[in-house]
Structure 1
């Protein structure tokens, strides 16, 4: 169990920790000289097989930001109120912070009890109880203690031991995350970081990553709860001895997160649920400046209310636009303070780490946030999949919720999701959503065939835009391939059709095309004759030749590269491969018209017409006189099965 102290300056927090553990957490020379805690202090109390960890925080108003760095990840609050002073400003602010962080277990130590008689103790206890009312610590016991006389120290130690015994281990699930509160170099060991393990577990020898910088490292050794260990788990304070290129005291700082590499995806625009403290002087409006505290990190932020201005004591959804990215997970708690560091404004919980910059207040978006506000990932994911766009990037969802890949896979299995893997993503739909998608594919194609019986099928992109749910292009192509493999549809070049649909030329047109096709192939395939040049060769009128070639273009047999200039589909596919080869051999992977012309061995005008055709279909991407290949459209003109 991790115990965090809280309370006003000079109320005896450090002295109380020293009396409980025998450890003086004031370690800096300035702290000794001034008699106040400036930095975080740490102490440990062995309790049989377990060890109680204490995080001692400053009480001075100037160092509330340091207090916040230590408050993240604590299990139990030790609120210290001096019997002679009673409740003071930082008592109230620290208590508000504990409440905003969701801390619901704790004890109030009525310190310096030797300086107060029974009536004074009773009066201060009544004052404390009034302050606790309405917070998560409303029922916390109040125990009088004195570090000078020893009164109540054993009683407090026993109460903490009982609380520790009743504290079950944090869930073993989740990927590893540790919030760094210190980084230093230890002689003979190297770089050491300390912090509280927020989730998951880490073992000696494992690879980790420092976020948001993305610095990779290896755990050389570790201490858990001040003892050498092979493994550290959620709920423990750990010291990790890190090794790796670039790892050093200057590369890692308080506010960083050491985590499982799979979780590295820093966020700088976050949607959240936020509650303002009742003491705010006026409502919080759009672009309100603040300092955001999360874990041990502190960063500038702008608050954008999504449900209108948030008044004192009010609550609502907000978007937080950060000055720089932080490492976080959905569900993490945060605190906002004013930019002058004089007061705590409020706090809340992160809902979405990938918040949109536009259309952030639409009914569709707010419904998504309602789903994301559900605390259990299963419920949140099921809720999202029931809303537009009816699909979710499963890997990103698991990552942002701090899940391991195995936990994400188990989540998908529990919900019976259909996952489509494409372009490094796993797009998931609910079973009902997948059925709706398949039915929409079939209905759209059937309707198109009925309205356009002479067309080969529907273009892939047109089909994607017509079908709901609308999937991202790579996932849509993967879904089409899955359906084609199941025999539900046929991929015919760039077209999609139902298995029973087939466009055929009548016998006369087929006979004419049989005379035309050989003239477009073989040695002349890169410079085939135009329609007017085909007329004397095939013995047909120009309009008839043009009509048949246009029908064959619909069938995917030929492509009209320029006006009245048709190439066989196999030749188009070959030209795409030539363009790709030209790009692959170019130093900058860009295609010039001259290089393409030389490979095609035809004129500059025809070469440019071919490149323009490829531009129109997105196979090549043009900038000025140069082009590069679009890897997502390379299969556009390949024959079925190629």
Structure 2
């Protein structure tokens, strides 16, 4: 069990920890000279049954509350230290508010310096403490009078801590490993060492880890857990990890960074949260209010954007978005504290709902439903509610990662909810509820049938148009994955950019088909980059220009040819090939510029035709032109490739 000793400056926290453990937690020279704790202090007390009590002594001075916050995350039990002669003081109240907002519900009060007061003052101090705790998570907590001078109450306090330790359930080791760093230093003969309290999962000697948010890869060479050499570190233990790897140095990591499993590395700079503004605040939080976010051992400048209304009044609990100055490594449902921008006082606290908050439409009904779903602590309940809210599709891998949900638990949830899993490429899986999936499949079939009835001469419907027409309206990546699943099941047929029902086949009239069969070879082969124009084809085939043009227009609607310039048609395969040529030509230029001369030379089709092709690319966004310079638009480079929906969803 990890015990956090908190309270006002000079109320005897360090002396009390020393009396309990025999360890002086004031390790810094300045701390000993000034007689106050500036940074975190740590002590360990082995117990007769082989267990170890870990103590975190946090600074009480208002200037060092941010250091207190770094130590308060990850504690199991708070020991609130209040001097009997002073009673509760400003930092007592602030520390209590902090541990309350961090969700620490187990603790006791050590009423120190009782040797300096008489019985009446002792009783009065106990009444003050009871009033202080009223309405907080520590309401009704035991108050133990102690004196580090006479030894009174030390044995009783230790017995209380032992009893609390015996009642402390072992933290589940499910989920992937993560630990917030509160110290980073170098040990001779060992190298770089980081310390902190293990939040989730298990870390073992030899494990590969990532230091986030910077993404520094490392390996765990050795572990000390609860001040003892160990082969593994588990949740609820304070650990020192000896890290090795390229770039791993003391200065490469700092307080607030997180050592974690590589799968969790997905830092964010925008959080949607549920927070409570302290009732003692003089004014509400309005849009873009500045604050300091404390999460784990990290401290980051942030801006608060209310979501539930335009402002959050004192004492209210509401949803908001925190826009951070730099990325943060966090997990959904983690708790946090906000302090004022000057670091003078704690103003709010709460928990994270979503690590991927949108920058727009924060208050839309759809977003409100999503946040209500994500507020569930239970992963299964959250996932079910999220799938019932628009857009009714969830990236399962991102959901599990952002909540650090165990793989076994997620598999059981998926099975219990009867979800349809859709491979979405790059190892991702999109989930859709069974009912929503059946509705989507039926809607796609109905939409395509109606489209074919209205457009019997067209090959099929474009993917984006079909996505917007189908219900439920899935986001683009989920839609492509869903359409690919329908294709594999034989419910739809996909040809390039077009989707159709399997029974729908567009056929040219026999006379038109015969003419197309004669035209097609003349657009291919060695002349494919400079194919004959309509008038030349008409003359060569002995057909009227109007008939040749009409057939090529029909075939163009089927996606087989592209009209690059007036009456100048290229096979779709040739268009895709020319995009590749353009990309290669641009890559040969140090600045990535595509010139007409270089493109013409690659195609050997003359300057006029080369420019017409480039202007066609400009119109379709394949190239981006600024002045006389063109560059390839990588987002549109696949526009003319015959890449079906299945391939797109797996890309």
Aligned twin of 2:575: 572
Aligned twin of 2:613: 610
Aligned twin of 1:3: 3
Q: How does 1:66-85 map to 2 (within 5 A)?
A: 66-85=67-86
Q: How does 1:153-172 map to 2 (within 5 A)?
A: 153-172=154-173
Check whether the contact 2:593–2:629 (CA below 8 A) recurs between aligned residues: no
Q: Distance in 2 between matches of 1:73 and 1:344?
A: 19
Aligned to 1:250, the other structure's residue is in SS state helix
Match of 1:422 among 425, 428, 431: 425
Alpha-carbon distance, 1:293 to partner: 1.1
Q: How does 1:24-43 map to 2 (within 5 A)?
A: 24-43=24-43
Match of 1:372 among 371, 374, 394: 374
Match of 1:627 among 627, 631, 634: 631
Aligned to 2:181, the other structure's residue is in SS state strand
Aligned to 2:197, the other structure's residue is in SS state strand
Q: Which one is further off, 398-407 or 152-161?
A: 398-407
Check whether the contact 1:440–1:468 (CA below 8 A) recurs between aligned residues: yes
Aligned twin of 1:254: 255
Aligned to 2:104, the other structure's residue is in SS state coil
Change (3 A) 1:278 1:629: closer
Aligned to 2:437, the other structure's residue is in SS state helix
Aligned twin of 2:434: 431
Change (3 A) 1:577 1:69: closer
Check whether the contact 1:276–1:346 (CA below 8 A) recurs between aligned residues: yes
Aligned to 2:19, the other structure's residue is in SS state helix
Q: TM-score, normalised to structure 1's length?
A: 0.94
Check whether the contact 1:211–1:264 (CA below 8 A) recurs between aligned residues: yes
Alpha-carbon distance, 1:425 to partner: 4.0
Change (3 A) 1:630 1:85: closer
Check whether the contact 1:445–1:497 (CA below 8 A) recurs between aligned residues: yes
Change (3 A) 1:527 1:181: same
Q: Distance in 1 between matches of 2:283 and 2:584?
A: 65
Change (3 A) 1:66 1:521: closer
Q: Distance in 1 between matches of 2:525 and 2:29?
A: 88
Alpha-carbon distance, 1:139 to partner: 1.9
Q: Distance in 2 between matches of 1:621 and 1:457?
A: 29
Aligned to 1:358, the other structure's residue is in SS state coil
Change (3 A) 1:289 1:478: closer
Aligned twin of 1:273: 274
Q: Which one is further off, 447-456 or 400-409?
A: 400-409
Is residue 529 of structure 1 aligned with residue 524 of structure 2? Answer: no
Aligned to 1:422, the other structure's residue is in SS state coil
- Summarize deviations over 1:308-349 as a string: whole Å, max 9, x none: 322221111111122222211111111111223222112111
- Summarize deviations over 1:390-436 as a string: whole Å, max 9, x none: 22232222222123566555544443242332256433322233223
Q: Which one is further off, 7-16 or 513-522?
A: 513-522
Aligned to 2:424, the other structure's residue is in SS state strand
Alpha-carbon distance, 1:298 to partner: 1.3
Aligned to 1:235, the other structure's residue is in SS state coil
Alpha-carbon distance, 1:584 to partner: 6.0
Aligned twin of 2:175: 174
Check whether the contact 1:570–1:639 (CA below 8 A) recurs between aligned residues: no
| Unmatched segments (≥5 aa) in structure 2 | none
Alpha-carbon distance, 1:253 to partner: 1.4
Q: TM-score, normalised to structure 2's length?
A: 0.93
Check whether the contact 2:459–2:500 (CA below 8 A) recurs between aligned residues: yes
Change (3 A) 1:246 1:454: same
Q: Which one is further off, 419-428 or 354-363?
A: 419-428
| Unmatched segments (≥5 aa) in structure 1 | none
- Summarize deviations over 1:329-385 as a string: whole Å, max 9, x none: 111111111223222112111111221222212222222211111112222222222
Q: Which one is further off, 592-601 or 192-201?
A: 592-601
Q: Distance in 1 between matches of 2:205 and 2:563?
A: 63
Is residue 45 of structure 1 aligned with residue 49 of structure 2? Answer: no
Aligned twin of 1:213: 214
- Summarize deviations over 1:32-57 as a string: whole Å, max 9, x none: 22222111111111122211100011
Aligned twin of 1:506: 509
Check whether the contact 1:422–1:474 (CA below 8 A) recurs between aligned residues: no
Q: Which one is further off, 198-207 or 508-517?
A: 508-517
Change (3 A) 1:284 1:474: closer
Q: Distance in 1 between matches of 2:617 and 2:16?
A: 76
Aligned twin of 2:496: 493
Aligned to 1:331, the other structure's residue is in SS state coil
Q: How does 1:531-610 map to 2 (within 5 A)?
A: 531-582=534-585, 591-610=594-613
Q: Distance in 2 between matches of 1:592 and 1:468?
A: 45
Check whether the contact 2:421–2:429 (CA below 8 A) recurs between aligned residues: no
Q: Distance in 2 between matches of 1:477 and 1:114?
A: 74
Q: Distance in 2 between matches of 1:606 and 1:427?
A: 45
Count of residue pairs the alignment pairs up: 642
Alpha-carbon distance, 1:578 to partner: 4.0
Check whether the contact 1:621–1:630 (CA below 8 A) recurs between aligned residues: no
Aligned to 1:272, the other structure's residue is in SS state strand
